[in-house]
Structures are given as structure tokens and as C-alpha cells.
């Protein structure tokens, strides 16, 4: 075959190949942008002041106070917001990991206490909030404004939920850190596994994205899939190091919206406002 024809055919094949790989990404962008625009205001930055105490063998080693920021998802007009507990309280995750270490290491203990919580809004204002419920098994923590917001807050309706299959793309929405101006950011994750037991959850692939714990995940049709949390399991592990056990016994997952909604129903009602 003449060289010019070979070159021309090679260019045609390359062009078609690029189109095949570009088309799905283009579809995701086209379908994902409306999802992002509809729900981004329901994704907030939560500022937390955390008091931490650490001890070894019953003797206090260090203590201190730190200011952290995490991504939260507003799930009710009242401002009820859900976050990943691991993103706000590292002791919840560390407890499971330390359970598999030797005697000396297992005597290490870390206690954390959230002393101040604020929901940061897009206009630069903030709402003082408080922790109203924790679920360590599901890695969830719920916070609520101490005073009712002036107007109903944009929120994600957990009842408008869907399910996903293996290899299905989903859209996640997060808030960047201070270096990123706390801007809203969108990523798409691909479901690599659907785990049915001991409860249903979705495992995204390990591609590095801007998705953070506490980010909501949506199907391309706009229905909410669930919340990004950290799953950890206690007990002995074959790993000989903390890093090895972390890889073996922890993984980021998407907890179905129905599970989040079930726990949210246990949040106690706010105390009635005192009469003036």
C-alpha cells in the first residue's frame, strides 16, 4: 500500500479512536454541569475547632486545639448538615486501626472533642452550629445551626435517590480548601464495586480527584446516590504496620442516600425557642 494512503488511514483510525474516548467524557460533562449547578449551593464548608488529647499507657502525652475544615452536605431547609465523622474526628478512625496492633501500641489512646462548629456560607457569612448526632459505624456526624437560618437553606433531598451499577459514572461535588478559595468543585467517579453485605455501599475507583469525604454523589440524571465516607473495620490484620492495616481495613465508599436518611431521622428535634 502506498505510504501516503497508509498515513491517511493511520490518521483516520487515530481520529476515530480519539472520538470514541472523548465522547463519554463529553456526555458526562454535558449531563454533569446541570447537576453541579443545581446542587452545589447545598455543599458547604464546615469549620471545626477540635480539642485533642493523646495518652500512652494511661499517661497523658500531648494535648492541643486545632482548627479544621471539612465538606458538609445540607440535607434539610433547617440547615441540618451531614459530614464524614472521620473528616471531623480522627479518633473514630484511629480506634479501629489501633485495635489490630500489639499490646504496647494498643495502649495508645486519642480522645477528640469538637468545641466549636461553624457552617461557612458563600457570601462570606457563617452560621454557628452544634453536633446533634454521631454514627461511628457509618462514619456520619450531623450538625445543625444553633439558631434557625433567616431563610430555608438549599439542600439535597435524600428521598430523590437512585442506585448505580459497576462502571457507572457519578458526579461528586465538594468544596476546595482555603488555597482554592473554598470554591465548589465537581469530579466524576466511576463505580468499581457494588458491595451488598453487610450493607449496601459503592466503592469508587482509585483515580485521584478533588472528591473529599462528606461530598455528595449524584447520578447523571440528577438523583442523589449517596455520601462519600470512610469505611473501616476493627480487628486483627495481617499487616505488620499501621500503613498496611490502613490499606487493608479502611476504604473510601459512597454510602447510599437511604442509609444516610435513615440515620438523619434519629436526629432529635430542636428545642423550642424560649418566649421573649
Q: How far apart are alpha carbons 252 and 263 in whole angstroms?
A: 19
Phi, psi of 259 (to 5 degrees): -70, -40
DSSP annotation of 114 reads: E
pLDDT tens-digit readout, 68-83: 999 999 999 999 999 9
pLDDT tens-digit readout, 34-77: 999 999 999 999 999 988 877 766 666 667 788 999 999 999 99
Mean pLDDT of 85-93: 82
Grid cell listed for 194: 457494588
Q: Is the pLDDT of residue 99 over 70?
A: no
Q: What is residue 33's predicted lDDT score, i.e. its pLDDT?
A: 96
Grid cell listed for 201: 455501599
* Short-list 262, 192, 215, CA closest to 42: 215
Mean pLDDT of 89-110: 62
Q: Is the pLDDT of residue 96 over 90?
A: no
Q: Is the pLDDT of residue 224 over 50?
A: yes
More confident residue, 21 or 201: 201
Grid cell listed for 250: 479502611
Grid cell listed for 17: 479512536
What pairs with residue 60 in β-bridges? 55
* Mean pLDDT score across all residues of the chain: 83
Q: Is the pLDDT of residue 19 over 70?
A: no
- Its pTM stands at 0.83
Domains of the chain by start residue, with CATH: 39-264 (2.40.10.120)
90: helix, strand or coil? helix
Q: Is the pLDDT of residue 275 over 60?
A: no
Q: What is residue 9's predicted lDDT score, i.e. its pLDDT?
A: 39
Radius of gyration of the chain (CA): 22
* Short-list 84, 91, 111, CA closest to 228: 84
Residue identified by cell 438523619 is 264
Q: What is residue 53's predicted lDDT score, i.e. its pLDDT?
A: 78
Q: Is the pLDDT of residue 17 over 90?
A: no
The dihedral formed by the CA atoms of 154, 44, 255 and 95, expressed in degrees to the nearest 10: -150
Q: How far apart are alpha carbons 232 and 86 in whole angstroms?
A: 10
At 229, the pLDDT band (50, 70, 90 cuts) reads very high
Q: How far apart are alpha carbons 155 and 264 in whole angstroms?
A: 14
Q: What is residue 1's predicted lDDT score, i.e. its pLDDT?
A: 44
Q: What is residue 23's predicted lDDT score, i.e. its pLDDT?
A: 42
Amino acid at each position: 500500500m502506498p505510504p501516503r494512503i497508509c498515513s491517511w488511514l493511520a490518521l483516520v483510525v487515530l481520529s476515530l479512536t480519539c472520538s470514541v474516548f472523548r465522547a463519554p467524557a463529553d456526555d458526562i460533562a454535558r449531563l454533569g454541569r446541570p447537576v453541579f449547578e443545581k446542587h452545589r449551593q447545598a455543599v458547604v464548608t464546615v469549620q471545626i475547632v477540635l480539642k485533642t488529647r493523646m495518652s500512652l499507657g494511661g499517661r497523658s502525652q500531648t494535648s492541643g486545639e486545632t482548627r479544621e475544615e471539612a465538606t458538609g452536605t445540607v440535607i434539610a431547609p433547617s440547615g441540618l448538615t451531614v459530614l464524614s465523622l472521620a473528616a471531623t474526628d480522627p479518633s473514630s478512625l484511629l480506634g479501629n486501626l489501633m485495635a489490630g496492633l500489639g499490646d504496647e501500641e494498643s495502649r495508645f489512646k486519642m480522645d477528640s472533642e469538637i468545641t466549636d462548629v461553624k457552617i461557612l456560607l458563600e457570601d462570606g457569612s457563617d452560621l454557628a452550629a452544634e453536633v446533634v448526632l454521631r454514627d461511628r459505624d457509618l462514619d456520619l456526624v450531623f450538625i445543625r445551626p444553633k439558631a434557625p437560618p433567616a431563610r430555608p437553606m438549599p439542600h439535597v433531598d435524600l428521598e430523590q435517590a437512585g442506585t448505580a451499577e459497576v462502571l457507572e459514572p457519578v458526579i461528586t461535588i465538594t468544596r476546595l480548601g482555603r488555597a482554592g478559595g473554598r470554591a465548589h468543585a465537581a469530579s466524576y467517579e466511576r463505580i468499581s464495586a457494588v458491595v451488598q453485605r453487610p450493607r449496601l455501599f459503592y466503592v469508587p475507583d482509585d483515580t485521584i480527584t478533588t472528591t473529599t469525604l462528606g461530598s455528595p454523589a449524584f447520578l447523571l440524571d440528577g438523583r442523589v446516590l449517596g455520601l462519600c465516607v470512610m469505611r473501616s473495620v476493627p480487628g486483627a490484620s495481617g499487616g505488620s504496620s499501621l500503613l498496611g492495616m490502613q490499606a487493608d481495613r479502611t476504604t473510601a465508599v459512597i454510602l447510599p442516600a437511604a442509609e444516610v436518611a435513615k440515620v438523619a431521622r434519629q436526629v432529635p428535634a430542636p428545642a423550642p425557642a424560649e418566649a421573649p
